[in-house]
């Protein structure tokens, strides 16, 4: 089976509530995600056009994760509500995660979302790798 992978990058702020160290402070990352798709090749020899992944998954990321904060629902720090109000007012609503916004949980969320966004193309999203820094990534894989 042949796969193809599209990289998508974005900028966002997060914090990890109850983290033992510096990650409990608000801070930003230049994230990148590698979206890997698998399918039988089409008549042009492609799994899927790279532009389809860019438009659908990249578009979703630009609308929801880029230039905003990705925070955990129920974040106990009162400042989270202030950040949410400010970003909503500035047109970039906070993206609320049901779990702490680690690279692992972002990869899982994006794996679920990318599968939905690409479902009608016939591809299977088999892996999502989210890079939080140039040295650290987390992988979600289809079961």
Q: Which residues are catalytic?
A: 23, 67, 132
Burial status of residue 101 (CB atoms within 10 A of its CB: 0-12, 13-18, 19 or more): buried
The length of the chain in residues reads 143
Q: Which of 66, 85, 89, 86 is nearest to 14 (CA)?
A: 66
């Amino acid at each position: 089976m042949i796969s193809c992978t599209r990289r998508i990058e974005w900028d966002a702020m997060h914090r990890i509530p109850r983290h033992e160290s510096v990650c409990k402070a608000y801070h930003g990352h230049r994230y990148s995600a590698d979206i890997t798709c698998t399918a039988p090749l089409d008549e042009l020899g492609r799994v899927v056009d790279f532009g389809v992944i860019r438009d659908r998954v990249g578009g979703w990321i630009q609308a929801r994760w880029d230039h905003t904060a990705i925070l955990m629902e129920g974040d106990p720090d009162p400042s989270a509500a202030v950040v949410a109000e400010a970003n909503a007012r500035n047109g970039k609503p906070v993206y609320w995660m049901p779990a702490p916004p680690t690279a692992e949980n972002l990869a899982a969320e994006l794996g679920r979302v990318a599968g939905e966004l690409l479902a009608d193309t016939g591809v299977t999203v088999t892996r999502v790798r989210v890079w939080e820094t140039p040295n650290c990534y987390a992988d979600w894989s289809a079961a």
